[in-house]
Amino acid sequence: MTNSPAKKSRPPVALVIGAGDATGGAIARRFAREGYAVCVTRRDKDKLKDLVSEIDSAGGIAHAFGSDARKEDETIALFDTIEKEIGEIDVAAFNIGANVRFAIAETTARVYTKVWEMGAFAGFLMGREAAKRMTPRGRGTIIFTGATASVRGSAGFAAFSGAKHALRALAQSMARELGPQGIHVAHVLIDGAIDTAFIRETFPEAYAKKAEGGILAPDHIADMYWMLHRQPRDAWTHELDLRPWIEKW
């Protein structure tokens, strides 16, 4: 009688909701370099082709999903598919941007609702689904990307600030509930301009400070996400502020 082949173990999975061209993509690349199967999502799956190709070319594993994070059924299906077909989600990062600027008198109900759905409600859906799967295993990391608007509401950013404040409160509540169950919940407050094409084209004066370390590099932000995930549970960080050395605060 011959022995049946051993079942091939599956790599740990890192899920990045909102894997854009800057921070989200950098987070995905960072975890892929550490041997994680990276699952990346955007509403338009085709926009993930370059990121997936880059990770694959570097010897990593990446899977792209087209998913609207504001839709409950799509978020549930996303988690179910990943856990069934790819592996157990060990870390989930929420990185959806919703940064828009409108004077309060020009902020329509539609704008406010959409920004809240993108910046806060979608974070709740991701956090809930991650918690459902991580809690029985007694391990896992959930990271939410915050911004200056998470702690200060600036003029013209009523919708964005409202969403980001809500996301921060969600992270705090989840950390208190899930920490004792072995789940590390962290909120990363990014306070400063990030090295993106948008900043380069829209705010050239800010981008000019790149040479002196005046704007945040996405790869360096991603290093901090990896650090948070790897922290021992006796020294967990819940909120981590990241800002260039020249940023006023």
Q: What is the pLDDT of residues 55-111, one digit of tens each?
A: 999 999 999 999 999 999 999 999 999 999 999 999 999 999 877 888 888 989 999
Of 33, 7, 28, nearest in space to 18 by CA: 28
Question: The tokens of 57 are what?
Answer: 């070319």
Question: Is 149's pLDDT higher than 90?
Answer: no
Q: Apex CA 64: angle with CA 178 and CA 113, to 5°? A: 60
Instruction: Give the number of residues written for the chain.
Output: 249
Residue 238 is classified by DSSP as S
pLDDT > 70: percent of the chain: 97
More confident residue, 205 or 53: 53
The separation between CA 15 and the C-alpha centre of its own chain, rounded to angstroms, equals 8
CATH architecture of the domain with range 13-191+222-240: 3-Layer(aba) Sandwich (3.40)
